[in-house]
Amino acid sequence: MGICVGLQALFDGSEENPAVPGLGIIPGRLKRFSDEDKAVPHIGWNSANTARGDGDDGVIKSGSQDGRTSIYGLRPSSKYYYVHAYAAPYREGELEAHGWQVATARYGDEEFVGALARANVLATQFHPEKSGAAGLRVIKAFLHGDALAELPSSVSSPPVPEGLTRRVIACLDVRANDAGDLVVTKGDQYDVREKAGAASTNGTSTTAVNTAGAVRNLGKPVDLARRYYASGADEITFLNITSFRSSPVADQPMLEVLRQTSASVFVPLTVGGGIRDTVEPDGRAVPAVEVARLYFASGADKVSIGSDAVDAAEAYWARGGRADGSTAIEAIAAAYGRQAVVVSVDPRRVYVDGPHVTSHHVIATERPGPQGQRHCWYQCTVRGGREARDLDVRQLVVAAEALGAGEILLNCIDRDGSNEGFDIELVRDVKSAVRIPVIASSGAGVPEHFRAVFDETGADAALGAGMVSLFSDASSYRRLRRIFALGFVQFCLGDGCV
């Protein structure tokens, strides 16, 4: 069984490195997706269908070639998690002529191989180990040798449209509270301390009593992550929000959180906070790529770089817009692939009277400033918003993409914890500046906010922290499920999207 690059290695070769031959077991070469019309890498939940659509609307009409047979547990009603920039283009009949059964997916107008099987060989471009229950079913079928099985009668209708879904991501801001326990917390504009008289939520109940000044406690990270997974979260992100306080790398509490979470949570896990070159208390230098390695070895699929990316972008522009291989983004992308590197951005609005007053990238805004200003720019910050830099959000994301980031996690300090909705103007502006996927973050308060950011900005994913934590007790399970299902019903790219 080959997964992702394990499928790719079976082909003759790849555009990714033409000089290196593949194993040549499957005829054909891999090509990079075109980013003319869509974000690359292709990240998220997509189909693996064995039947051809009728061509009119791109909608799959039946489950497999005979309509009722499942190959290694694949179902036309399921979506699977993909993360890759190169793929094997699908040409009808070619692989079948060599005895392969092929399941395909569509990204934009490109149809590519999502999975293929022949005898006891199964290869998937998607990650079954990160595809929740649908992926576990594929792994189980492979281990049991169930190459072909009858689809259950419940799996027939309605057919699932082809194409990538939007992702709804649950975020857990994690830090130690004053008693030294690791808790999930949530700030208002990054302030995570309780205000006098405010309600306090601990993941299962809300009380009116709290200790003013204490770190807000929403529950335990592993418990909450499991609950989000069980409720259908497409992805889970942990941010160690006090990572700027140094502690020995091997003692990072997030390593244990990841180990425990990844043992029972089978969707992608991102971890952020403290991904940079560090010096241990004994004076030993630890490069960022080593910090990232520890996180990947503990179960993370992606690392998210915040403050260090700002430093890297400043250096990039100081060199005249040139990469020199010295940054954590470049080192981690080179070692693990750019899809494993997220850059987390913490911008804050700065209102101005017009574009002429600053050299930064200014946008016109429909939400005027305190003095009625109709323009603003977004200033990047580091250390959890504590320090502002002379760098605008566009400069940061363009540099991050050039250095090798695979995705942007776009927070907004003004909206964080506000429940007022995403900053649509910010998301739209960043989306227009880069080709890599953009995750909108900060401000989700009701499900309509997710719909709005998907409809109005083309964001590839949207993340919620405070809002989803409100529904994390057992009685709110169905409401949480509905929120996480939003991305699935909000099909976005390619033919046949609804």
Query: Per rule CB under 6 A, is residue 306 in the interface with ligand 1PR?
Result: yes
Question: Among all residues, whose Cβ is closest to ligand 1PR?
Answer: 384
What stretches of 407-488 adopt beta strand conformation (E)?
Answer: 407-410, 438-441, 461-464
For the bound state, the minimum distance from the C-beta of residue 386 to ligand 1PR, rounded and expressed in Å, comes to: 8
Torsion (CA) 121, 124, 127, 131 in degrees, nearest 10: -90
The conformation of residue 34, written as its DSSP 8-state character, comes to P
Q: Which of the ranges 183-191, 214-222, 290-298, 371-379 carries the binding residues for ligand 1PR, by CB under 6 A?
A: 183-191
Tell me if 77 contacts ligand 1PR by CB under 6 A. Answer: no
Per CB under 6 A, contacts with ligand 1PR among 315-344 are: 344
Q: Is 307 in the site for ligand 1PR (CB under 6 A)?
A: yes
Q: Is 57 a catalytic residue?
A: no
Residues 43 and 342: their CA atoms lie apart, in Å, by 12
**Tokens read off for 265:** 């949570």
DSSP H helical segments within 157-252, as ranges? 221-230
Interface residue with ligand 1PR among 124, 231, 243, 252 (CB under 6 A) is 243
CB 143 within 8 A of CB 152: no
* Minimal distance, residue 303 CB to ligand 1PR, in Å: 9
- Please pick, among 162, 173, 392, 407, the residue that the annotation labels catalytic: 173
376 noted as active-site residue: no
Between 53 and 443, CB nearer to ligand 1PR: 443
Minimum CB separation of residue 96 from ligand 1PR in Å reads 46
Q: d(Cα 484, Cα 448) in Å, to the nearest integer?
A: 12
Q: Binding residues for ligand 1PR, how many (CB under 6 A)?
A: 33
Cross-strand pairs, 183: 175
Contact by Cβ (8 Å): 113, 104:
yes
Cβ proximity to ligand 1PR, 173 vs 429, nearer residue: 173
Instruction: By CB under 6 A, tell whether 441 contacts ligand 1PR.
Output: yes
Among 2, 464, 487, 494, binds ligand 1PR (CB under 6 A): 464
Report d(CA 74, CA 295) in Å as an integer. 31
Near ligand 1PR in 380-409, by CB under 6 A: 384
Q: Which stretch binds ligand 1PR (CB under 6 A): 10-18, 59-67, 236-244, 425-433?
A: 236-244
Q: Could you say which of 260, 442, 457, 490 contacts ligand 1PR (CB under 6 A)?
A: 442
Among 42, 84, 111, 127, the active-site one is 127
Strands 26-32, 11-14: parallel, antiparallel or unpaired by DSSP?
A: parallel
101 to 61, 147, 154: CA distances (angstroms): 18, 10, 23
CA distances from 324 to 312, 320, 329 (A): 10, 11, 11
> Please, what is the minimum distance in Å from the beta carbon of residue 225 to ligand 1PR?
14
Using the rule CB under 6 A, give the single segment among 58-66, 118-126, 288-296, 459-467 that binds ligand 1PR. Answer: 459-467
Closest CB 175 distance from ligand 1PR, rounded Å:
8
CB of 69 or CB of 189, closer to ligand 1PR: 189
| Residue ranges of E strands in 98-218 | 101-107, 110-118, 121-124, 148-150, 167-176, 182-185, 200-201, 206-207
Measured in whole angstroms, the distance separating CA 112 from the mean position of its chain's CA atoms is: 21
Contact 168, 462 (CB under 8 A): yes
Q: Does 275 bind ligand 1PR (CB under 6 A)?
A: yes
411 binds ligand 1PR (CB under 6 A): yes
Looking at beta carbons only, is 45 or 450 nearer to ligand 1PR? 450
Per CB under 6 A, 168 contacts ligand 1PR? no
* Cα–Cα distance measured from residue 334 to residue 312, given in angstroms and rounded to the nearest whole number: 16
User: Taking the complex as a whole, how short is the minimal distance between the CB of residue 103 and ligand 1PR, in angstroms?
Assistant: 35
Closest CA to 461 of 445, 450, 472: 450
Q: Is 467 in the site for ligand 1PR (CB under 6 A)?
A: yes
Cis peptide upstream of residue 21 (ω within 30 degrees of 0): no
Cβ contacts of 93 within 8 Å, gap of 6 or more: none
Structure-block tokens of residue 236: 């889970």
Which one of 274, 337, 404, 496 is in contact with ligand 1PR (CB under 6 A)?
274
Q: Which of 234, 235, 346, 423 is catalytic?
A: 346
User: What DSSP designation does 159 have?
Assistant: P
Residue 152's Cβ-side half-sphere holds a number of Cα atoms within 13 Å equal to 8
Assess whether 4 carries a catalytic annotation.
yes
| Rounded Cα–Cα distance for residues 272 and 309 (Å) | 12
217 sits near ligand 1PR (criterion: CB under 6 A): no
Q: Which of 4, 171, 380, 492 is catalytic?
A: 4
Minimum distance from residue 241 beta carbon to ligand 1PR (Å)? 4
For strands 461-464 and 438-441, give the pairing: parallel
Contacting ligand 1PR within 186-205 (CB under 6 A): 186-187, 190, 192
User: Could you tell me the smallest distance in angstroms from the CB atom of residue 186 to ligand 1PR?
Assistant: 6
**Residue 407 Cβ vs ligand 1PR, minimum distance, rounded to whole Å:** 13
- Minimum Å distance from CB 206 to ligand 1PR? 15
The sign of the CA dihedral 305, 307, 310, 314 is negative
Q: Tell me the three state secondary structure of residue 148.
A: strand
The two tokens of residue 289 are: 């790529």
Footprint on this chain of ligand 1PR (rule: CB under 6 A) = 171, 173, 186-187, 190, 192, 239, 241, 243-244, 272-275, 304-308, 344, 346, 384, 411, 416-417, 441-444, 464-467
Catalytic residues: 4, 127, 129, 173, 346
